[in-house]
Structure formats: structure tokens, C-alpha cells
Structure 1
Amino acid sequence: MVILTKEKYVIRDSALIDEPASRKESLDVLLVHLPFYEYSSYQSPQLGLLYVASSLKAAGFKVGVLDDVDGEIWAESFVNLVNRHGPQILGFHVNTDSLPRVCRAIEILRKRKIEPPLIIFGGPHVSIEDRELLGKGFGSVVVRGEGEETIVQIARWWLRGEGNLHMIQGITYRTSDGEIVRNPDRKFISDLDRLPEPDKDLLVKQPKYNTFQILSGRGCPFHCTFCAEGLRSIHYRFRSPESVLHEIYNQIGDLPRAYLGVLDDTFLVNRRRVEKIANGLINTFGTDNRLIWFCEGHVDFINNNEDLFPLLKEAGLVRVQIGIESGSQEVLDLYGKEIQVEEIQTAVTILRDADIPSIFGNFIIGGAIETPVTIQQSIRLAKRLISLAPGRMEVSASMLALYPGTDISKSPSRYGLKVIDPQMLRCVSLQHPVAVTEKMGVNEILAAYSKFEQEVIMAYGEVIPSIPYQLIHKHLDFRSYGLTTHWSQLFLRYPSIKTYYRMLGCEGYHSIYTIDINKILAMVPYRTVKLLEIEDGHLAVKAHPRKIIFNEMSAKIYELCSGKLTVEEIIKVLRQTIEVLPPEPYLTEQVIEVLREMGVRFLVIFSDL
């Protein structure tokens, strides 16, 4: 057996490189994330890759991260970036969806004869299917599992001549004579606090939108049979509250407002730790929503810790994702969810009562033993949850994914599945079947998916009139933090709310919540509905979450909210045109109250000019 050596590896043709640029920006290691771009959906930087890069930086290597979160990297731009940085080691993060794109990128580099000396891979897909990838000849080393320690050893070996490749734990490599060697597994990192915090300055291409994210733990204590994170070989570990709070503050600093995504698959596990983090957030950022955040939680934890959520809400928690998957108890049991359907409803009720504005849950369509009956059970549960928490509960659906290493991918027949697309090549954003069941083929699953979506949309529409205006305002306000909920998108379909939100985003316009009520007489109200309608002889606004019908007095006030008169001038016009009016100060108080109610209902917005 011949161990991979630098001398025997194909070296790139330096004549094809822009030498001045490469000397100026050359890197030891370039780590690349080429995500499967999901149409217009926004994606955030791959946090795990930044952790790995930060470990390389701490070890003294010159490293950069190329993350195509905006979907703007194509063949020429990718080649130009590799040319510019001339890395000695090129590393790719690979998941099931991105694998074909990664392989094409390597082929392009080879055709241009600018393939870096060493190509390595990491990520959930290749950690399982390492031999398969290397056997196709796309690269030389796969990092299995966590990469922070492993990649530093690889860099030291390749760039400094330190150590031996066959002694590095947690890798699979291809020798120069084509043999695939799988070294022993590396132990999971037990002390996550000692890892460097991810450094966004290592991104060689900054994303359009700045995001704030954190991983406070790794792995998952639960073992859902369809989920790669719940593999029993992955141990659940978490960082100390002090480490988590330190990283959060380093990211947020003194920003006036920010939205943080806690990306752990299950943040809500250890109550004492969660309480310490929540209290730390309150002490650092206060309780006025300067920082709002999202996390995932298991139904059991929510139901067993109902009294915890008022504290989390005070600490800025605004969005919780829970795993639902199906409305069929039999399907849930096959997935290893260890919950009852009724417990899902209880968890949603607890989050609603704690005033968590956004609750999100996903259903799997076309999964284990799926039949028209189980589909209908899922639809009923989805509609029930929406009615339990109107304006809060969001549900979505996706097709079953068969990720390498999961029990459902290894033993599909046990789940009543026949795999038709093992490599998920037909699947876009989990929106196409990769397996069928005895009772449902591809066409039936697609039809069931459409039916689920249609029923959910109808359920949203049914509850919209009951949603409090304050909750609508919260969802719209979240957009200024960078959080777009499905409810905010629904509300913006109403012309008055769309106009209100657009004007509020312009400097000089104010909502009823932000103006000084003592100075309202000098403010200029603008109505957000340009063309008023008539119903039963009264002015009305019909395209609204709740149909608005004005009485005679409010109609006259609203007509005068043209953006040409101050509130004080409106009162004067009323006095000049209406014979019978209440005396002062009652008239002024009445007009202000009508305008306040109009502001709450998105009918007016105010300017000081």
C-alpha cells in the first residue's frame, strides 16, 4: 500500500493562475459550502464550517470560507475565487442535496487544470458514505464527524510535514494507488467550550444579509428514525451557559435590535442550563425585545416545563419549532418520536398561553406506512393546531428524506416503504417523493401534498378574523429584525397593511405605538386605504383581516386623513362642518381615540410634516 503523498498528487498548473492576485490573497486552506439553492429561499452561512475554519485560524493557518448562501456562485465565479486564493487545501462541506454540485465543481477545476493539491470533504452525508465518494475519485480525504481537531492535523501534515496521515483519527483517505483506508473514529469533542468561536471575518464573500446564529450544543438526545442528527452514534453535548452568553454578546454587541437563531436540534433539554442562559440574556439585553430569538424544542420538554416559558418569553424567545411529522399515532411510533398526538396539542397550547408569537411545526408527507387515512389524520391535526393558536401556529409539509445512516434508509421495508430514488436526485427542497408506500404511489403522494397545503391555507383564512391586532403588529415588527414569519406574509396581502408597512419603513412616518400621544395634535395622519368602499350606505374597508364599517363620525375623520391636515386642523374642519358635536375637551379626546383605533387597525400612519 502506498500512502498518499504530496509528491504523487497532481499539482495544479500555476501558469493558469492570476499570479499577482494569488500572491496577494493566497490561502493555506479554502473551505467551501455550495448549498443546493432552494429557489428564492434565504439561506444562512454554514455555521459548522466557520467553527472548523476558526480552529484552523487559531492553529496559525491562513484560511478562508466560501459560502454561497446567496446563490450567486456559478462556474466562472467559482473558478475565479479559487484562482484568486490559490489554496493548497480545498475542503468541501457536503450534504445529500449539495453532493452533485460539489462533484461538478471539482470536475470544472480539473478541466481548467487548477485543481488544488489536496481536496478534502466533510459533512453529514460523506461521514457515512465516505468510501463511495472517494471511490469515484473526486478527492483524497473525508473527515468523518466533527472536524475541528481533525482538519488541524491534516493541515499540519500537508503544509508543515508534521505527523502521518495514517495516524489521524476520524478520516477516510484514498492512497495514490487507489486503495481506500478508513482510520479509527475520532472521539467526540467533550468540552465544546474550548473551541474558538466562529469568525465571520473568514468569509471571503460576505452574504447580502447579516445573520446571528449560535450552536449551544451538538447532537440530539432523541433518536427519530428519519433524522441524521439523532443517530445513536452521535453523543449529545452542550456548552456552558457562560460560553453561550459570551458568544451571543460578541455577535450582537450594542446593536439596537437583533434576531438570533439557536440552531441546536434540541436546545430545550437541560432546564437549569436554559434558565441560566435566559437570565443571562435578560441581564445583558433587557426585556424590551432588543434581542429576540428562536429555538427548537421537544414536545415532552415543553409539556413538563410549562412554567419555564414565561421566563423564556421575557428573555426574548419569539419562535419555537417543534417536531410533529404526522397526525397518525402509528406513524409517530414508527418514527420513534416517543410522543402522543394529544401531547402535541398540549405543547402548542402551552406555548400559546406563554404568549410565544410564533410556533412552527413540520409534517412529513409520503412517509412511513402512509395511506389516505394517515394523510387525513395529519390534515386534521394541522387544522386543529392552527385553531388552537391562531396567528401563532405555522405548519408546513415536506416529503420524506432518506439520509444515509438513518434507520429508515437502512431498513425501508420495515416502514412500509419502497425506495424509488435512493440518491434523492429528483427531489427539490424535499418536495418530491423518494419512496412510495403500498397504498400511495408518486402521483398519490403529490396529490396528498397539494391537498395538505390547500387545507392549511384555508385553515389560516378561517382564523384570520380572530387574530388580535397586537399580534399582527408583532409579526410585522419581526421583519425589521430579519425574521419573516408565514403569518406576516399572509397579513401583507391586505392592501391597507401592505401600505402601512411600506410607509412605516420610510423615515418620517410613525405608528400609533411610537408617537408621543401628547404631541399628536401636531401630527399628520395618512390613511392607508386610498379607495374607500360602500356597504349599506356606510364607508367601509373590506380587504382587511376584519371588515371595517365606519359610523358617520369616524367616516368623516377618516376622509380627512388625506395627509394634508394635522389632527388639530381635522378637529377644526369637523367643527366648521358638523353642527352637533360634543364640547371640548371631549371632542378632541374622541377624535384622538378614533385615530388611535385606526392606527391599531393599520388604517392610518402618522407624519410630523
Structure 2
Amino acid sequence: MRILLISAINPHMESETRYPQLGLGYLVSYARKKLGADTHEFKVINRDIEEAVEEFRPDIVGISCFSSNYGIVKRYAAFCKGKGIPVVIGGIHISLLPDSFTKEMDIGALHEGEETFAEVIELYDRTGRFDPESCASIKGIIYWEDGRLKFTERRPLIDDLDEIPRPARELLNVRGSHLSMFTSRGCPYRCVFCASSRYWTKTRFASASYVAEEIKELYYDYGAKIISFYDDLFIVNRKRVKELRDILDAEGLLGKVSFSCSARANLVDDDMARLLKDLNVVSVALGLESGHQRVLKYLKGGNISVEANRSAVELLARNGITPNAAFIIGSPDETREEMMATYDFIRSVPLRNFNVYVMTPLPGTPVWAEAAGKGLIQKDFEDWASLDAVHFSKHYRKAIIVSETMSREEILKVYRKFQRLRYWVFFKNVHRHPFVKDVPRMTLALARERILGMVKG
């Protein structure tokens, strides 16, 4: 049986095409473990969908995406359904907003998908169809029965992440010496703008030995020199970070590979900064969000402070680790003065790079629920591209603005001011950035993206 897996990215956006879709790689490796390594043929793609369907002639198509690209998913699903191919949808969007499931889709795999997708494949391989009676026996899915959306029992999470084989990277577009991996799932914090904790429901960690084995694979088999840990919060399990350092030291790999990871400011103290330095972490991304205490408390809760943010940046910089950060402007009652407090904060700390985003409601978050309660999001909402917070300037006329203190145009003006500061900070420090070799490629790709954007409207 041939199975085509599609990552429904926007192929014209450089930021979406830069790294392989590891989530689909996990689906393949887990299915091979459960169903046999040679029983099915898999293909993973993220572009040229129509051509791939015609050439590969899949028996099943699986599609995964984020909310901002759900319009692309619907188009792909309709095309495949028109060819008589059953369509399985998975990922964070359909898990947190299952009512957006359409008649062109046969099954929606909710939340963690490895076990569910393996059972879906086994069912179709055995019966050649997805009839409602059989679908009802699979946990963690939605499907159609007599025109009504049906939910099965929620599937328990996989407790031991070591049970999931490493992703099938041979099917992914793995290139270059800067590669990526996951070592955990979930986040113990519940920021109002983030859906991760609602999607994963609890935080789980692969063991240090499992992580070390994957690092060895990337180093020896793929030539990795830099590995980015894409966990929501890599450092939250301090004991595991220490164990990983010790294993890499014993294996003779410590110092041969550089790492980047994400962190929360209140978890960065002197010991953690030194530990990350020992591990050869060269860059840390911090979700600092705001330079104003009242706004910061709204966004991240009461256990973080502006001074903790400042301390984390300074500690990392003093230990020779490049601190990068993300900020959000445009919270419901945030004033221009409070936004400018964030601007002044950025100028006062030794950041090497930062990103700023305008508050965007995402399905499953308190911000989404609040926006819906205020009538900013209707039940028949379909403008998924407007949820693209990364490219706000391009979509600002359609973006859902939750601010009650500033107009759309006023927020855009402030956003552009932040962007000018961002470019100044980046280019001032580019010669010291640990990923400086990536800059020419990224600059060319971003220029291509900008040109395509202008051509397309």
C-alpha cells in the first residue's frame, strides 16, 4: 500500500520551507515499527502536490498543517478526494478546532498521531475502506457518519517517548549541516497566546540516552555541525540536560556539535547558563514577550518578571551564548506607551536578534476564546491565512486585531518601528551570530519570498 504524507506549508514562504517536517517522519517510523518495515511504501512532500499524486498514485493521503495554512489543506483534500483517494487529516489545527473538518476529509487524527495513524493504515489495509462501524473502534479520531461528525474515545498519550523510533529522515528534505530534532513534547506553562499545552496536555521527555543516540545519528550519518532542539522548553528538565552533557562527553562528542534551544527566563540562572555552555549550546531563544510588567503578567502569568527577562539575557551573554528573543505587541488593553516600554527594553539588553509579533488569536488558546466572545471571530470563520502572525505586514488588513486601545493602522506603524529596530540589532551583531554561515542563504530566500509576495498581489 502506498501512503503519501503532505506537509501543507505555503511553499512560497521561506520560513516554512527551511526545515523538514519531522512530525511526518515520526508517523512513518512508528507505522513501520507497528506494521512492518517493508509492508508499505511512504512518500513525504510539501509542494507540487498534484504532480506527486498523479505520479505516486497513493492509496491513502495524510495531511498535516497549522491553522494559518488550513485553506491550503482544504484545497489539497478536495483535490485528493476528487481522485477517489481517502484523506486523513492531523496536526494541531484539527485537534483544537475539529468543527473545521470538511466533507472532503475522511478521518481526523486528533492530538498525538503515531498510534492512531498506524491503526488507520492497518484498518484500510485490511478492509479497503473507512466505514463508520470500523472507524468507531479507533481511539482519537473524528469521522463522518450519515452526515454527522462523530468523535471516538480520546487516545491516551504515549508515556515513554523512547518507544517512538527516530523520524524517517531519509524521506525528508534533510540538507546542510544545521539540522533539527525534538527531545520532548509539551510545555508545563500555559501562556494565553500559545496552544502547545492544550494540544499535548502534559509534558514528556525522551531520555538523555535516546537524545544522545539521535545526536550521534545526525552527526555521523548526516554531517550535522549545529543541531536545533525544537522543543517548546528544552531546559525545563535540568537533570536530563546534565545527563545529556555527561553522555556526550563520554561518547567523545561534546564540543563537536553546537546546539540551539528554547528557554523560559525564570529557568535561566548561573548554574543553567554554565550547564548550557558546557553542552556547547551557542544560541538560546527566549519568549520574553513584553518589557512591561502588567502586559507580561497577562501574557505569561504571575511567575515571571521583566527583571527576570533582563537577567536571563545578561547571564546568557556573559557565558558566551547568543540570546535571541520573541516579543508580542497588541494585547487587548495594551497601550502604545506599554509597547514602547518593550521597545526600550530591547534596546537596553544585549540581544543578538529578536522577533516581534502582533497578538494573533490561535485556535485552542484563551486569546482565541476571548476574541470569539467579543465577536471578532465568527463560527463560519474561513480566513485562515489571516492567522499568519509571522507575516503581519502582508496580512494586516485582514488580521484579527484584538487591541482595544489602538487602530489597525496604528499597530502597523508601531510594528514597523520594531522591525526597523530588529534589522538594526541583527545586522549590528551578524558577524558574532553563531549561525552566520546561514545568513547568505536566508537573505536570498527572504528576497525571493518578498518578490513572490509582490508578484502575487
Residue of structure 1 equivalent to 2:99: 131
Residue of structure 1 equivalent to 2:84: 115
Compared CA separation, residues 460 and 145, structure 1 to 2 (3 A): closer
Deviation at 1:383, TM superposition (A): 0.8
Matched, 1:66 2:40: no
1:79 corresponds to which of 31, 50, 57: 50
Distance 2:7 2:222 in 1: 28
1:273-312 correspondence runs (5 A): 273-287=240-254, 289-303=255-269, 306-312=270-276
Matched, 1:192 2:157: no
Residue of structure 2 equivalent to 1:222: 189
Deviation at 1:83, TM superposition (A): 2.1
Residue of structure 2 equivalent to 1:396: 355
Distance 1:427 1:230 in 2: 19
Q: State the TM-score, normalizing by the size of structure 2.
A: 0.85
Matched, 1:92 2:52: no
Distance 2:51 2:425 in 1: 49
Distance 2:207 2:226 in 1: 21
Structure 1 unpaired stretches of 5+? 1-26, 490-609
Contact preservation (8 Å) 2:3, 2:59: yes
Distance 1:362 1:401 in 2: 14
Query: What is the aligned residue count?
Result: 426
Matched, 1:334 2:334: no
1:166-181 correspondence runs (5 A): 166-175=136-145, 177-181=146-150
**Greater helix proportion:** 2
Contact preservation (8 Å) 2:63, 2:89: yes
Distance 2:199 2:45 in 1: 30
Deviation at 1:36, TM superposition (A): 2.4
SS at match of 2:24: helix
Residue of structure 2 equivalent to 1:425: 385
Distance 1:164 1:142 in 2: 14
Contact preservation (8 Å) 1:126, 1:144: yes
Specify the code of the residue in structure 2 equivalent to 1:220. C
1:550-569 correspondence runs (5 A): none
Contact preservation (8 Å) 2:69, 2:385: no
Compared CA separation, residues 210 and 142, structure 1 to 2 (3 A): farther
Deviation at 1:368, TM superposition (A): 3.3
Deviation at 1:214, TM superposition (A): 1.6
Contact preservation (8 Å) 2:61, 2:80: no
Matched, 1:441 2:411: no
Residue of structure 2 equivalent to 1:344: 309
Specify the code of the residue in structure 2 equivalent to 1:322. L
SS at match of 2:196: coil
Residue of structure 1 equivalent to 2:114: 148
Contact preservation (8 Å) 1:150, 1:169: yes
Q: Indicate the RMSD between aligned Cα atoms, in angstroms.
A: 2.8
Compared CA separation, residues 285 and 444, structure 1 to 2 (3 A): farther
Structure 2 unpaired stretches of 5+? 444-457
Residues 245-293 of structure 1 show CA distances to partners (whole Å, capped at 9, x for unaligned) of: 1111122117765110111000101111111112222333545x42111
Specify the code of the residue in structure 2 equivalent to 1:214. M
Distance 1:264 1:29 in 2: 28
Distance 2:50 2:221 in 1: 38
Specify the code of the residue in structure 1 equivalent to 2:342. S
Moved more, 155-164 or 420-429: 420-429
Specify the code of the residue in structure 2 equivalent to 1:137. K
Contact preservation (8 Å) 2:361, 2:400: yes
Deviation at 1:232, TM superposition (A): 7.9
Matched, 1:202 2:166: no
Compared CA separation, residues 216 and 311, structure 1 to 2 (3 A): same
Matched, 1:44 2:19: yes
Deviation at 1:191, TM superposition (A): 0.7
Deviation at 1:478, TM superposition (A): 3.6
Distance 1:256 1:240 in 2: 23
Matched, 1:409 2:368: yes
Larger radius of gyration: 1
Compared CA separation, residues 417 and 293, structure 1 to 2 (3 A): farther
Greater RCO structure (CA 8 Å; 6+ sep): 2
Distance 1:485 1:222 in 2: 36
Matched, 1:382 2:341: no
SS at match of 2:61: strand
